[in-house]
Structure 1
Amino acid sequence: METSFYYYILLFIIYLFFKNYLQKHNKKFPPSPSLSFPIIGHLYLIKKPLHKTLAKLANKYGPILFVKFGSRPVVIVSSPSAAEECFTKNDITFANRPGLLAGKHLGYNYTTLVWASYGSHWRNLRRIASLELLSSHRLQMFHGIRADEVGSLILRLLQGSIDGEFHIVDMKSTFFELTLNVLMRMIAGRRYYGENKTGLEEAKRFREIVTETFVLSGATNIGDFMPALKYVGANGLENKLLILQKKRDRFMQDLIEEHRKGQSGTVSKQRSKTMVEVLLSLQETEPEYYTDDIIRGLMQVMLSAGTDTSAGSMEWGLSLLLNNPEALAKAQTEIDDQIGQSRLIEEADLANLPYLHGIINETLRMYPADPLLVPHESSQECTIEGYHVPRGTMLLVNIWAIQNDPKLWEQPEQFKPERFLKNEANGFQMLPFGTGRRGCPGEGLATRIIGLALGSLIQCFEWERSSDEVVDMSEGAGLTMPKAQALLAKCRPRPIMLPLLSQL
């Protein structure tokens, strides 16, 4: 009797084993490169830049690809239909973030808007960003700041031209200074660049912080993919992240304390003025939730994400125009026809400038600031176009591959703003700001800054390359796909605009 009992237990165990085995192997996983090494998985295939390497793998194995980055399962999506399924049907499933080292140290242990996983805390941060900080109403309240800073940029470029002749301008720095002034005035009511030189050291300090943030965020940490090696510390990345976060914390806390000191007792009355005041007023009502950590995290996300990405897009855009002067001439003609020479372009004019809009869209298509969307992670198993995706799988959506796919775009390597006049983009073929729950809440602000700045520079100045050579369009290292070589350009005021510019 006892023998029969153990016999049935053994049969039951064998049944469970084969059931689980068959269930696992009957599931249709996405295609995968056949050779996966122990420990490292498919990491041997990865070369920089990552988005181009993954695009080549997608061309070989298909637009939905399953790989192992060490011990971490990863699904790479490179088609509009698969991306649409990820961010519609499976949007909540993929609303989590993987636990990467950068998120631990730069994201306050995965509690900031960028790094927090889906849940009540993230939803609250998103609500604050979308409604309190970046709503259309609040952006409209700040439109004067954007117009003022673009006007200051025009004046500086005008003053740099002696007797109306060409002079060379470092556009990488120029665009960064513009976006930092705009963001800092919106967030903390102060500016760093311009006539006031007192803040230049602090501005330099912040610029170094932003540059280091995107370089280290895009750096490979072997411990994220091979946990057994996370304590080896071969490249000292964790120490660099710790040092960087201390710098970021100090910078943001100084801004908070300076604001507290200057605005003590009046925060709630002035809540409409700056974003720091909005956040400090929330802290007054719920101090146990809106801690300084939460406020610093929101400020860091706003400043880091808002400055480097918008500045980089403008630099790529002007680079493309310098290499395609016929497009620059068309944009100037459009602005002249729609606005004339008696006033400067305004944000309200952007809706009536379809060719300028096409230039911006074409720039974002060819050189998206986030070529691989910030990684998502599946909170439960799901399917993408019939393929099984296990729980805990990292999702990489290759925006660059989709937006430069010759099957979707005619001659994608060529700069053709006209394609957007014909509505060539269709749904998920263009995702420069992401989409779904974790889409970029700053899209409205970015498009306003980029449109007004590029439109103003096109309207007011003549632009030429700094040499006879075409502008180098090589990509540099970093999370936001910066240009490898900073853009130097020659500019001078357009003679037709001098009567207006002389009044500034």
Structure 2
Amino acid sequence: MEEHLGTRQILSYSLLPCVLFLLSTKFLLHKRKKRNLPPSPFALPIIGHLHLLKLPIHQTLDSLSKKYGPILSLQLGSYLAVVVSSPSIVEECFTTNDIVLANRPRFLGGRHLLNYNNSDMGSADYGDHWRNLRRISVLEILSTSRLTSLFSIRRDEVNILTRRLYSVSSHGYAKVELRSMFFDLTSNVIMKMVAGKRYYGEDVKDTVEARMFREILKEFIEYISMIQVGDMIPILQWVDFTQDFKKLYRLNNRMDMFLQGLINEHRHDRERNTMINTFLTLQEQQPEYYTDEIIKGHILVMMIGGTETVATAMEWARACPGDGLGNRMMTLTLGSLIQFFEWERVGDDKIDMTEKTGISMCKVDPLELLCKARPSLNVLLS
């Protein structure tokens, strides 16, 4: 009896992949017949076109666009994606049809890590809640008057960067690596705006808290930079082969505890001009809406948007609300570096501009240049 039962179980498990293959093939063919989709490559059952996505992703999509046209469709597991490479079509998508294309897929990271159940401005569905969060960002957090009042933060951090470069280049050209310096600069500016604290650099006050923050943020950015196959093929979430989901939950708990600690700390210190205190004031007025989860989600958007992507400006109607901060940071930083330092290439070879795939596009090899302080800076800092 037991041998017969075991044989039936083995037979059932053997037939399961075949059944899934037939069902997925029928499903994909049915979807393609029913929809009027743009052209696309041949799709495999279940995974669709996932096997075509080679790194760097943007170059892969560029090659596919050259073959199939300026608009094509890709079946990424259970998700349908439309790739648009024509500037005129992109403009139409983000102006005329921006509301139709406003929503984002609800990925696992959005539910449990990045977006507190997709409730922040970066992932919430388009509607009253999203519009309110954007209004708060534009008027309360990133308005012109608000950014002007926080000029001292940007000035002080750029001065710290200037002194850091001066310390190694005051006596002649020195080789410097700029990516890490720019990351420290933008991270400190954002976190001083958010919580009134610096977490990067040699003069950080609370080294234990700073080290914890740096570890969590590094792991956080590494995680959301990866493509999670379980998001594209939900059935794989049932069996966590790579232990990614367990790592996700642990990281979520660490990040949540850290952010909650910042909020609790600001409840006993309401004098600081920070983003957290702005939200706590709104929470006193509407406690049922501005919950701690909403505040923590907004902090995360600021952290990632400010430290990794540096809030670039967009030309479309629904422009990034952080473009004012991004422009101010770029002009002040570049102006200072050009005014106070002389710059040369390291060697005669051209700078390697090979791209690295991540949240934002950056070079595979960090930018290294030769830097020498100008005499005017020697007078100011000596």
Name the TM-score, length of structure 2 as normaliser. Answer: 0.84
Partner Cα distance (1:435, 1:240) in 2: 37
Q: Is the 8 A contact 2:198 2:204 kept in 1?
A: no
1:58 is matched with 65
Q: Secondary structure at the match of 2:362?
A: coil
Unpaired segments of 5 or more residues in structure 2? Answer: 1-31
The answer on 1:139 being equivalent to 2:147 is yes
1:277 is matched with 277
**Per-residue Cα deviation, 1:278-328 (whole angstroms, up to 9, x for no partner):** 111111111121111111111111112101222xx9xxxxxxxxxxxxxxx
Q: Is the 8 A contact 2:199 2:211 kept in 1?
A: no
Q: Is the 8 A contact 1:214 1:480 kept in 2?
A: no
Letter of the 1:501 counterpart: L
1:219 is matched with 226
1:110-125 to 2 correspondences below 5 Å: 110-125=118-133
Letter of the 2:265 counterpart: E
1:139-178 to 2 correspondences below 5 Å: 139-162=147-170, 164-178=171-185
The answer on 1:307 being equivalent to 2:307 is yes
Q: Is the 8 A contact 2:191 2:198 kept in 1?
A: yes
Change (3 A) 1:471 1:147: same
The answer on 1:192 being equivalent to 2:195 is no
2:8 is matched with none
Q: Is the 8 A contact 2:103 2:125 kept in 1?
A: yes
2:292 is matched with 292
Unpaired segments of 5 or more residues in structure 1? Answer: 1-23, 314-368, 370-431
**Per-residue Cα deviation, 1:248-296 (whole angstroms, up to 9, x for no partner):** 21221222222222x1xxx3xx58x221111111111111211111111
Q: Is the 8 A contact 1:283 1:290 kept in 2?
A: yes
1:349-368 to 2 correspondences below 5 Å: none
**Per-residue Cα deviation, 1:24-44 (whole angstroms, up to 9, x for no partner):** 9596421122x2222121222
Letter of the 1:169 counterpart: V
Q: What's the CA shift for 1:156?
A: 2.4
Q: What is the root-mean-square deviation in Å for CA atoms of aligned residues?
A: 2.6
Change (3 A) 1:154 1:198: same
1:49 is matched with 56
Letter of the 2:123 counterpart: W
1:307-456 to 2 correspondences below 5 Å: 307-310=307-310, 433=314, 435-437=316-318, 439-456=319-336
2:7 is matched with none
Q: What's the CA shift for 1:195?
A: 6.2
Partner Cα distance (2:99, 2:243) in 1: 35
Identify which of 38, 42, 52 aligns with 2:45. 38
The answer on 1:483 being equivalent to 2:363 is yes
Identify which of 115, 124, 135 aligns with 1:127. 135
Letter of the 2:294 counterpart: I
**Per-residue Cα deviation, 1:422-460 (whole angstroms, up to 9, x for no partner):** xxxxxxxxxx647444x4211111111122111211110
Identity of aligned residues (%): 48
Partner Cα distance (1:41, 1:242) in 2: 28
Change (3 A) 1:45 1:145: same
Q: What's the CA shift for 1:228?
A: 2.3
Letter of the 2:276 counterpart: V
Q: What's the CA shift for 1:170?
A: 3.0
Q: Is the 8 A contact 1:193 1:200 kept in 2?
A: no
2:117 is matched with 109
Q: What's the CA shift for 1:193?
A: 4.1
1:461 is matched with 341
**Per-residue Cα deviation, 1:198-252 (whole angstroms, up to 9, x for no partner):** 3344334333333333322231222222222221223222222222222221221
**Per-residue Cα deviation, 1:451-486 (whole angstroms, up to 9, x for no partner):** 211121111011233455443323234222233223
Letter of the 1:159 counterpart: S
Q: Is the 8 A contact 2:122 2:301 kept in 1?
A: yes
Letter of the 1:465 counterpart: R
Letter of the 2:84 counterpart: V
Q: What's the CA shift for 1:500?
A: 4.5
Letter of the 1:247 counterpart: R
Q: What's the CA shift for 1:109?
A: 1.1
1:74 is matched with 81
Letter of the 2:380 counterpart: L
Q: Secondary structure at the match of 1:309?
A: coil
Partner Cα distance (2:219, 2:328) in 1: 26
Aligned length: 353
Q: What's the CA shift for 1:196?
A: 2.9
State which drifts further: 35-44 or 451-460.
35-44
Letter of the 2:119 counterpart: T
Name the TM-score, length of structure 1 as normaliser. Answer: 0.65
